[in-house]
Structure 1
């Protein structure tokens, strides 16, 4: 999952907005404040669960131009696309309101963020583009952003050429994966907090 899904999980678990994004940024884990560390750890668990889920394995094996070994990178982005398409199924908070809440939470901890995340938060302050991740243009921009930063970024070009197919291929895997992911996160939060009652708040009926 990419930024949007991790922010959604942060909102449901009442953990740090910034902390839940830190898994995608270089940080010194030992120096993190406790609340940021909890979010960082949750991000790691989510990534492992998603990578190993049968729906992810299925998505990575689908025929397309892009090489299978890099499909997981693109999967994270197109799963965000489908989360936004199906937002009303997974949240009772209107999409625009959620995007504003996420931005507010990120800004609160901007100064405790690594430089690259600070830059991302500043770009959100200038124009909150989170909802745009649910558009083809937004998906394309997200992939190009990775291509610019990553030394092997050229390997993602084939996915851009085949983008409409790639997005379509991700719909069914997303619908299998995301409810399981939210159940997984709920169980992890119960274990970490010692509660027996569900901790996910504001989740619409699946």
Structure 2
């Protein structure tokens, strides 16, 4: 999953939000141990979310739309598409509540900047400046996100315009994938958190 979903599945808990967002920048047990237990929980939760997502049959189906153009990066673009449909899911966000939630996440991270990985903070500066979490809602924001991923992807031959066109062409089918998948992911995460507090 991408940043919005990881933040959303932290259920407004600042330490979980922090761990969930920095997890890709924390490598191995030695780095994990640098963080308080509640942030470590968020890092582990991020990894559990990614594992569940990557192994789910619906995600495999969604990746097939991107694979001819993106190869191994099909999962990265699928994660981004899931964030778009989460951002536009009227059962979870209105435009106003998504804006407020995005600000909440930025404020949580900003309040802990001094202890977070430098490489994450470099990325986060762009996330906050361009309001990625909110702008996943619209096609302009998604197109910028597609360009950003394409620029960082080594060996990706298809242009971002081609990949974005795939997203638009298969929009309804990808939305169906999100709707079939995301409730199952949320239930999985809620069960994990419930079991950890027992």
TM-score with structure 2 setting the length: 0.84
Aligned to 2:46: 43
1:173 aligns with 2:187: no
Distance (Å, rounded) in 2 between the aligned partners of 1:8 and 1:15: 13
Aligned to 2:100: 97
The alpha-carbon deviation at position 155 of structure 1 amounts to 4.8
Aligned to 2:116: 113
Find the partner of 2:81 among 74, 78, 83: 78
| 1:5-64 CA distance string (max 9 Å, x none) | 011112356643221012332543343332221111000000111111121111122477
Aligned to 2:126: 123
Aligned to 1:138: 141
Tell whether the 8 Å contact from 1:7 to 1:102 is kept in structure 2 after alignment: yes
Kindly tell me the number of residue pairs found equivalent between the two proteins: 193
1:23 aligns with 2:56: no
Find the partner of 1:190 among 176, 189, 194: 194
Distance (Å, rounded) in 1 between the aligned partners of 2:191 and 2:130: 35
Tell whether the 8 Å contact from 2:66 to 2:77 is kept in structure 1 after alignment: no
Tell whether the 8 Å contact from 1:22 to 1:40 is kept in structure 2 after alignment: yes
Structure 1 unaligned spans of 5+: 195-206
Question: Relative to 1, partners in 2 of residues 1:150 and 1:127: Cα closer, same or farther, differing over 3 Å?
Answer: closer
Q: Which has the higher contact order (CA 8 A, sep 6+)?
A: 1
TM-score with structure 1 setting the length: 0.81
